[in-house]
Amino acid sequence: MFKLPQMTLSIRFKLFTTLLLTTGSVVLCMYLMMLWSFDRGFLDYVNKQEQQKYVEFSEALAEHWQENNSWEKLSNNRRSWDNLLNQYIDFPEFNDRDRGPRSFGPPGDFQRPPPPHKIGNRPLLLDKDQNMLIGRAIDLTNIQLHEIIVEDEVVGFLGQFPQKKLADELDVLFVEQQSRAFMLSALMMVIICVVAALPIAAHLVKPIRHLTKGTQRLISGRYKTVIPITSNDELGLLSKNFNTLANKLKENEKARQQWIADISHELRTPLSILKGEIEAIQDGIRVSSPQTINSLHAEVEHLNLLVNDLYELSMSDIGALNYQKSNIDIGHVLQDTLDSFRTEFENAGLTLAFNSKLKKIHHVFADATRLRQLFSNLLKNTLRYTDRDGRLEVEISAQPDEISIQFKDSEPGVSEAELEKLFERLYRVESSRNRATGGAGLGLSVCQNIVSAHDGTITTKASPYGGVWISVRLPALGFSKGAHKKRELL
């Protein structure tokens, strides 16, 4: 079956249509409300005018009562009633306005009917007991009665039929003219809204177009893309966040490229040495002696450590490292690790000082193996980068909610700007961190992941001895997020 392609509507068209429909609906509602209000208000105005005439007519009827002391003259002589009625409200004798001339006087005296009036029904005259004297009415519930009072006594009632619709031709014509004026005004407002909605929709969509084009450039790999921020509203905030995202992607891409270059360099160097050594033995340039074998073994060991560091770092990043957590004595773990490194520090000409401020045994909910790896990496960091005859001071203390472990080594130091980058992968300070010291710049990154897995923090700052001060803080037992677990898989 053939399917028609779906028509894609632009957001500008949708926004324009929304503005137009909303404005058109408001204008239509305003037009209908104004029309209804005007019709009702004008009808009330006409009824109030009639009511005033009825009040004046009731006063004239009160004077007639005072003169005659009865309604017999009016009820028996309709001509007198009509003459008195026409003096105050100019009501014709007949409701049929298309009838010819009517005689109201003696024979031969013809008059034109009075001009049409707003009143649609002739008034009624009732006595004080509301008995009908003049007029016809089946139901008096919808009739407004005006009291005829003489010397504070009600002597009768004048009945008025309130109008429910306009009857006078001029009134109807006036209302029709106003209705047409309202309609014309509504159409003009809609036209103005159409003209105004087009540039407004284009202005509102402009930042979205910038975002669309910028996103397409990001997809194509142009991470230097920056879009203009034209407002301080939500779209402006979105544009600002887009620029932040683009800058972050640019930094990540740069870091990725640097990462690949550094990894290639770190892997290629020991492989090149191994290849050269083996080829030299094959060509008979070097003899396969224990010294040569030890040199090859050292390069293999260096390559193995690098691969292991990369593996553990990648596994930690994806949350695939197993942490066998339990309640352990952190002071004992730290002491054992320091004791295992004392010989290496003595051979390197470094002093290893340990200061424990713990008054009692303190337990943490942690993986003892990973903590040993953490402490070992920090100690190796000092062994690799601290000058001979230097020192490392390790201090452990306890707070109610955390255990603090401080590592302060001696020169060489690290600048303030470089301290923040020590935990970046493969980062090495040029003046002190080079391959001759045996470091690939992954150890501190692994340390940071281990500390994070234990809900702790690790920070760096300048050491009072001229080197680097690394501070590790781990939550005390009972304050760890995972203290209720015996085993945690990250």
Provide the pLDDT for residue 483: 41
300 and 327 fall within a common domain: no
Q: Which of 169, 199, 217 is the last residue of a domain?
A: 169
How is residue 8 written in tokens? Answer: 């894609």
pLDDT digits (tens, 9 = 90+) for 97-155: 333 343 333 444 433 443 444 444 678 888 888 888 887 766 667 788 888 888 888 88
133 and 267 fall within a common domain: no
Q: C-alpha distances in angstroms, 324 versus 245, 316, 390, 403, 404?
A: 37, 14, 36, 19, 22
242 and 372 fall within a common domain: no
Residue 218 lies in a domain: no
Residue type, 436: A
Output the DSSP codes for 108-143: T--BPPPPP-S-SS--EEEETT--EEES--S--TTP
Q: Which of 112, 135, 169 is the last residue of a domain?
A: 169
What beta strand segments (E) does 257-390 contain? Answer: 322-323, 326-329, 351-356, 363-366
Contact 159, 139 (CB under 8 A): no
Provide the pLDDT for residue 94: 40
The domain spanning residue 252 has which CATH number? 1.10.287.130
Residue 216 lies in a domain: no
In order along its 490 residues, the chain shows pLDDT tens digits of: 445 455 566 777 777 788 778 888 888 888 888 778 777 777 777 777 777 888 888 888 888 888 888 888 888 887 878 887 877 765 544 444 333 343 333 444 433 443 444 444 678 888 888 888 887 766 667 788 888 888 888 888 888 877 666 666 776 777 778 878 888 888 888 888 788 877 877 777 788 888 888 888 888 888 888 888 877 888 788 888 888 888 888 888 887 787 777 777 777 877 888 888 888 888 888 888 888 888 888 888 878 877 877 777 777 666 666 788 899 999 999 999 999 999 999 999 999 999 999 888 889 999 998 899 899 989 988 998 899 999 999 999 998 889 999 999 998 888 887 777 777 766 655 544 444 444 455 668 778 888 988 999 999 999 999 999 999 999 988 655 544 343 333 3
DSSP annotation of 102: B
302 and 376 fall within a common domain: no
Provide the pLDDT for residue 403: 93
106 and 22 fall within a common domain: yes
CA 113, 116, 118, 119 dihedral sign is positive
Output the DSSP codes for 302-313: HHHHHHHHHHHH
**Domain count of the fold of the chain:** 3
Of residues 462, 463, 455, the one with CA closest to residue 480: 455
Provide the pLDDT for residue 132: 84
Residue 211 lies in a domain: no
Residue 416 lies in a domain: yes
351 and 435 fall within a common domain: yes
Q: Which of 314, 345, 371 is the last residue of a domain?
A: 314
Of residues 50, 42, 46, 26, the one with CA closest to residue 177: 42
Residue 392 lies in a domain: yes
Residue type, 273: I
Q: What integer best gives the mean pLDDT of the chain? A: 78
Provide the pLDDT for residue 198: 79
Of residues 326, 410, 408, 340, the one with CA closest to residue 373: 340
Instruction: Give the max Cα distance, the chain.
Output: 160
Output the DSSP codes for 24-92: HHHHHHHHHHHHHHHHHHHHHHHHHHHHHHHHHHHHHHHHHHHHHSSSHHHHH-HHHHHHHHHHHH---
How far separated are the first and last CA of the chain, in Å rounded?
53
Provide the pLDDT for residue 103: 38
293 and 354 fall within a common domain: no
Residue 438 lies in a domain: yes
**Whole-number Å distance between alpha carbons of 124 and 138:** 12
The domain spanning residue 374 has which CATH number? 3.30.565.10
DSSP annotation of 8: P
Residue 16 lies in a domain: yes
301 and 365 fall within a common domain: no
164 and 284 fall within a common domain: no
Provide the pLDDT for residue 106: 42
Kindly report whether the global pTM for this prediction surpasses the value 0.85.
no
279 and 300 fall within a common domain: yes
146 and 295 fall within a common domain: no
User: Domain residues for 267?
Assistant: 234-314
Residue 404 lies in a domain: yes
392 and 478 fall within a common domain: yes
